[in-house]
Structure 1
Amino acid sequence: MDQEKFTAFLKDIYYPRLSFHRLRARRNHHIYLRLQWAMLILALANAILVALQPFFSWIWLKVLAIVCAIPVATLATVLKTFNYQEKWAQHGKAYYDLEKEYNLYLAGAGNYSTEPDKEGYFVLQVQGILSQALAANPYMTVP
C-alpha cells in the first residue's frame, strides 16, 4: 500500500473511528454512573421512608415513599433496557484494540516485524477490529 492511500485511510477511517469509540465509551460510562447513583440514592431514601412508616402514621410519608419508588423502578428499567454498561465495555474494548494495533504498527512489533507491507496489514487488522465492534453492537449509531 502506498503512503498516500495509507495517510488517507488514517485520516478518513482510523482517526474518526478511534475518536468515535473513545467518546461513546466515555459517554456511556458517564450515563451509566449517573443513573446508577441516582437509583442508589432514591432507593436509600425510599427504604428510609418505608422504615419510618410504622412509627409515624402521616399520609404524606406514604405518598413520598411511593413517589420515591416510581423513579427507582424507572431507573432500573432504563439501566437494564439501554445496556449502558455493555455499550461502555464494547466501545472501550474497540478503542483499546485500535490503540493497541496502532502502537504495534508504530513499534514494528508482533506480526509487523515480519510483514513486508506493514501499512496493508495495519489496514486489514483495523478493518477486522471495526467489523468485530459492529458485530458486537449491530445497532450502533453515529452520535
Structure 2
Amino acid sequence: MISKYQQLRAQALPHNRATLMALLKKHGIQSLSVFYSGSGSTGDTDKITATPPEAVARLADVTVSLHQAKVEVLAGVAAHALIAEKKPALEALREFTLAWVEQTHCCWANRDGGSGDVTFNVAQDTCRLKHTEYYTGSLHHEYSL
C-alpha cells in the first residue's frame, strides 16, 4: 500500500518538472543533465551540466518554488500536505532528480547502489531518467560423487 506521503511526492513530480522546465527555458538553457550515484546506503547528485555550458552559472543566484510533501504530527495525528517551498534553482534540480529516482527505484543507493542522470531537453519539452542498478552476482555449485 502506498502511503499518503508517497502519493503527495508522486503528485508533486509533474508540477515540479513543469516548473523547472519553464525556468530552464526562461534562462536560455537548451538542455541540462543532473548526474547522481550512490551505494552502501548513501547517494547524492554528482554534477550538473548544461548546453550552453555557461548556463549552470546563470542559475546560481536564481530561486524557484517547488511543491514539497510535508507531514506534521499534531496530538498523535499525522497531517499531510503539499506546500510550495522556495529554494535555489540548482538545489531544486538536485532534489527533483533524487525524488524522481527514489519514486521509481526505492532505496536505490542501498547495497551495491546505482547511478544515472536526469536530462531536461528544453526544445523537445522532455525530461528523461536513465538509471543503472549495480549488483554483485554469484553462482553456487555443489557436487557429490
TM-score using structure 2 length? 0.31
Rg: which structure is higher?
A: 1
Task: Return the structure number with greater helix share.
Answer: 1
RCO higher in 1 or 2 (8 Å CA, sep ≥ 6)?
Answer: 1
